[in-house]
Structure formats: structure tokens, C-alpha cells
Structure 1
Amino acid sequence: MDAMRRPTILQYRGFRYLKVMFGLMLLAVLAYAGTTTLVGRYLLGITSLLLTVLLMWYGIAKRRTPMNKERRERHAADHYPYPQDASNHGKSERLQGERRITPAKESWFYGGCLQGWLSAHVYLGTALIVLVSLHSGLTFSWSIHTLAYVLMMVVIGSGFFGVYAYLNYPRLITRNMGENSLEAIFRHITELDEQARIRALGFSDDINHLVLMSRQHTRIGGHLIEQLRGDQANCPTRLAVQHIHQLGQTFIHDAQSENLLELYSVLLHKERLVTQARTEIALKARMKIWLYLHVPLSVGLCAAILSHIVSVLFYW
């Protein structure tokens, strides 16, 4: 099974861009040490600028993929058509034909090599830490130059989190949800709320109030902080489970205690489903939230770099 596992973006083509990253770092150190300080820093600055432009282009290339995918599908349909009433065997032949007509040399044009783009994006972005640090000479002050450096480090740091999220969270989502879906969980929670309401009718107003609060005020998702945490402060369902559990310990063993145990089991099952749904939403929110930092900060970084270049060329 492990032998058939698909390599990650970090392992793309035998760590191709990891080797490129180390090569760039080595050349940067040699250029900085082997030339005059000013020449070396200008060379590193130009190289860093070109790398930044290339990394920004990844965002454009990524958004061109749907158009290129449709173009590839139309191209496949033109070369491997089959009638509308074709058998499954004919469809299988067409699918095989689609795979045959997308050779490696065309994959960049059709957007099929975004994994390579992303691998280069990660490793070349990491190389900027060394290149730009040498370019700056590790000399910092309250200036636009230091602001550009800080923005670059924040952008790279958010990118590291994005890599971690996309490599780990999909697996956690699958493990958490299994064969379930959020829609199925919500339907099941609604059914459990109704069961809890019916079972609570034979108890005191306090217990009915707990069940009602659990039904009306339990939030799944909520505001941004709750989505990221995957929890709700003072969750009514959790409080109801805890209170009924404590109450059940004071009951003697009779028919009423058995009814209370059934109510407790229903609310406990609901709490587990609520936790499962919140975990699903939290993992997906964490996969997306970093982009709301990474992309705007990247735009801000471009503006800071432009200001840095103008100030160096005309006011230095």
C-alpha cells in the first residue's frame, strides 16, 4: 500500500525543487562571498525579485486551470468520440484515450502540472529566506526596506502553514467523517433533538429547559473564532450532558432512572455528532483561513518591494 501512495508536492519528481533550492542557496552564498559586498547584494536582489515574480505567477497559473481542463476535455472528445448509446467498454476506451493524449510536454500548457508549480512555489519561496537575508546584510531599521523583509517572512510563514494544512488536514477530515456527510449529521441531530424532547416530558422543568437550550442554542460553525476552534463556549449540549449525568447519579435504580439514562444516551450521541461536525468545519476553515492572509500579504509585499526598489534607485 505504501509503495502505491502518491508522492506529495514536497517529493515531486524525486525532490527536484528541493535540490534547486539548495543549489540557489549555495550560489547565493558564493556570490555574496566571492564578489564585492555591493555587487553581491545587487545580484541577490535581482535574483530575489525574479523569484518573487515567478512565485506570484503561480497564483495566476492556478486560476487558469479550469479553462485549460475544459480545453483538454474538448480536445479528447474530438480525437476519441463515441456515440451517446455507447457501452461501458467504449467509455473505458475513451477515458484511456484521454490519458494517452496528455503527454508530459503538454501538461504545463493544460494546467496539469500544477503539482510541479506548487512544489517549486514552496521550495523557491523557502530559498528567498537565505537570498533576501544576504541581500539585506541582516541590517534592519525602521524603514520600507525592513518592512518588505518582515512582510516576506510573514508571507513565507503563512505558506508553511498552508503546506502543513494541505498535507495533513484532508487525511484528518477523512478520518473524522468516515462515510458521513455534514447533511446526514445535521439530519441525525434534528432527529435526536426530537427524541430528547419526547423523553424529557416526564421530567422536571429544569431538565426540559436543558433539553430546550440544547436544541435551540447549540451552534455548529458560528463566528470565525468558533469555526477555527471547532468549539462553542458553554455549549448547551455539553452542559446538558454534564448536568444530566450528575443528576443520574442521585437517582435510585427505578423506571425513572432508566428513562433518564435513555435521555442521557440521546444527548451524549448528539454531543458526539456535534463535535464531529464542528471538527469538520474547523479543519476546512483552517485550510482556507491562511489564504486570507497569504494572498493579501503577498500583494502588500509586492507594493513594499516596489517602494524598496524606487527608494534604492532614486533616493539611495
Structure 2
Amino acid sequence: MAKSSANDHSSFLAYKNYRWLKISVLICIASAIGYWMTDFDPVRNGGTWYGYTLGTIGALLILWLSVLGIRKRAITQGHWSLKAWTSAHIYLGLGLLIVATLHTGFQFGMNVHTLSYAIMVFVILSGLIGIYFYAVIPRKMSTNRAEMSQQHMLDEVASLNSLLIDTAQPLRNDYIPVVEKAAQTTQLGGSIFRRISGENKRCTTQKALTFFKQELRTTDNDMRSPVLDIISVLERKNALLGRIRKHIRYKSLLQIWLFIHIPFTFALIAALAAHIISVFYYN
């Protein structure tokens, strides 16, 4: 069996000792040197031979980077593993910002060329948010789940609901509806704002827990032990619901980012096509 190297366990940001960061930096330096050493009259712009060169490099980078969504569906090892591809996607995407800016010659206006540049900048900036999300959120999700799958956590909620009904048997009759409501109306998910917040102020389990903690202060000795038992089960369920809602929050943040980043990537490709067509049509 082949031995795995330390790089095999590094993050996608540090893949192969920051190989793609170094490549991206070299591309940016070479582009900048060529930009400043080449003399243009009257001004530098995307319509010069060097502007066309940088524009071609930028366009190819955009198309290549857009393939990552398709690449994620294929799992391979080696130089073009998903980790390697993601590392290249990040650092070459950041390098694209420099290449494309030099391509414009810092000439902007109210036209399709500037529009395509603006969309590109937005996609890259949203990509920076994605870097943070994918570097931090998966680890937080793993810690939060504590080796439990989402389905396992939901099954545990169902078990606790059954336990609530059984534990409620010794309680007074006026306490039973509170427990039944907590067991039968568990709310998870909901609106996008509720999923992102990771909270539910209408949670019947939390309300039942608050209710019985208040009742514990005034209940008689005969009911004290049954109330403590129901509080114990409610606390377990409430803690588990908190973990599930946090899990849903993390998943929702990733999904929202994808719903923004991917459509704007397609918009960038469309704007890029319009930019290229208009350049050759009007020139």
C-alpha cells in the first residue's frame, strides 16, 4: 500500500505547498511586467495587441474555472483530484482579477465591456465568501453532528418524542396537553430567515421546557419527581433540536451561496460572449 504524504491531508488552500498560489502569482507578475513595459499610443486599452492577449488569457481562465461545477461530480485521485482542482479554481480565479483589470487598461464606461468586468468582479468576490464557507462550515458541521448523520438526529428526535409521551404518564392531567404539543408539533426548517438564524422562537419544546421549569418552583412534592423527569427529556430534545437547526443553518448558508455564485457565473459567461462578439463586430 502506498504511503500518503503530508500534502494528502492538507487543505485545498495549501494543496501541494501552495502550488496554484505560486502559479497564479507568476501569471500576475508576468502580466503586470508586460503591461508596464509595452508602450501604447495614445492609451493602454483592451483593443491593443497586448490587451487582446490578456483578454484571451482571461476568457480562457473564465471558461476553465466555470468547469469546476461539472468537475465536482467526478471523483479522481492525483494531480487533478477535486482538492487540486478547487485549489487551482481559487488562486487562478484571484489571478483573473489582475489579468482582466490589466486587459481593460483601466478604461471603463457605460457599455457591455464594463458590464462583463463588473459581473466578473462580483463572481470573484462572491467566490471569496465561498472560500470562507467551504474552509470553515464543513468542519463546523462535522463538530456539530458529533458523528451523527442528519437522518440519525431526526430518528433520535422521534425517539425522544415517544419518550416524552411515556414520561408524561405520571403528570397531572392539565400538564399532559403541554407535553403532547411539544411531542407532536416539532418544527424544523421553515422560512429562509428562520433556517439561517438557526432559531425558532415558536418552538413548542422550548416553551414546554420553560413552562415546566416555572412549575417546578411551585409544584407539590408528589409532582416534583415526574416534573423533573419530563424536564430532563425536554432538555435532551431541546439540545438535539438546537444541533439540528444549526446543521440546517450551515447547509442553508452553503446553498444560498451556490444560488448566488452559480447563476452569476452563467451571467458572466453570457456577458463575456457579448463582450467578445461586440469587439469583433465593431472592429
Shorter chain as denominator, the TM-score bin is: 0.7 to 0.9
Q: How does 1:23-172 map to 2 (within 5 A)?
A: 23-35=26-38, 36=40, 37-38=44-45, 39=48, 40-63=50-73, 65=74, 108=80, 113-172=81-140
Aligned counterpart, 1:264? 231
In structure 2, stretches of 5+ residues that fail to align are 1-5
User: One-letter code of the match for 2:203?
Assistant: C
- Judging changes above 3 Å, is the alpha-carbon distance between structure 1 residues 149 and 213 closer, same or farther for their aligned structure 2 residues? farther
The superposition leaves residues 8-45 of structure 1 with CA deviations (integer Å, 9 ceiling, x where unpaired) of 11112221111111112212222222222133433322
Q: More helix per residue: 1 or 2?
A: 1
Contact preservation (8 Å) 2:186, 2:203: yes
CA distance in 2, matches of 1:26, 1:204: 77
Aligned counterpart, 1:79? none
Q: Does 1:220 align with 2:188?
A: yes
Aligned counterpart, 1:276? 243
The superposition leaves residues 113-168 of structure 1 with CA deviations (integer Å, 9 ceiling, x where unpaired) of 33222211110001112222233344544432332222212222332233323322
Of all paired residues, the percent bearing the same amino acid is 31
Contact preservation (8 Å) 2:65, 2:89: yes
| 3-state DSSP of counterpart to 1:291 | helix
Q: Does 1:251 align with 2:228?
A: no
In structure 1, stretches of 5+ residues that fail to align are 70-101
Aligned counterpart, 1:203? 172
User: One-letter code of the match for 2:199?
Assistant: D
- Judging changes above 3 Å, is the alpha-carbon distance between structure 1 residues 277 and 258 closer, same or farther for their aligned structure 2 residues? same
Shift of 1:223: 4.2
CA distance in 2, matches of 1:247, 1:146: 66
User: One-letter code of the match for 1:203?
Assistant: R
User: One-letter code of the match for 1:300?
Assistant: A
Shift of 1:191: 2.7
CA distance in 2, matches of 1:259, 1:141: 74
Shift of 1:305: 0.8
User: One-letter code of the match for 1:54?
Assistant: W
Shift of 1:310: 2.1
User: One-letter code of the match for 2:153?
Assistant: I
| Residue 13 of structure 1, aligned match among 6, 16, 27 | 16
CA distance in 2, matches of 1:291, 1:231: 22
| Residue 309 of structure 1, aligned match among 272, 276, 280 | 276
CA distance in 2, matches of 1:187, 1:52: 44
Contact preservation (8 Å) 2:54, 2:100: yes
TM-score (norm 1): 0.75
| 3-state DSSP of counterpart to 2:14 | helix
CA distance in 2, matches of 1:25, 1:264: 62
Aligned counterpart, 2:153? 185
CA distance in 1, matches of 2:150, 2:90: 32
Shift of 1:260: 1.4
CA distance in 2, matches of 1:279, 1:128: 35
CA distance in 1, matches of 2:173, 2:282: 79
- Judging changes above 3 Å, is the alpha-carbon distance between structure 1 residues 246 and 178 closer, same or farther for their aligned structure 2 residues? same
RMSD: 2.8
The superposition leaves residues 208-239 of structure 1 with CA deviations (integer Å, 9 ceiling, x where unpaired) of 33323322332223344433333334222122
- Judging changes above 3 Å, is the alpha-carbon distance between structure 1 residues 176 and 34 closer, same or farther for their aligned structure 2 residues? same
The worse-fitting range, judged by mean Cα deviation, of 117-126 and 40-49 is: 40-49
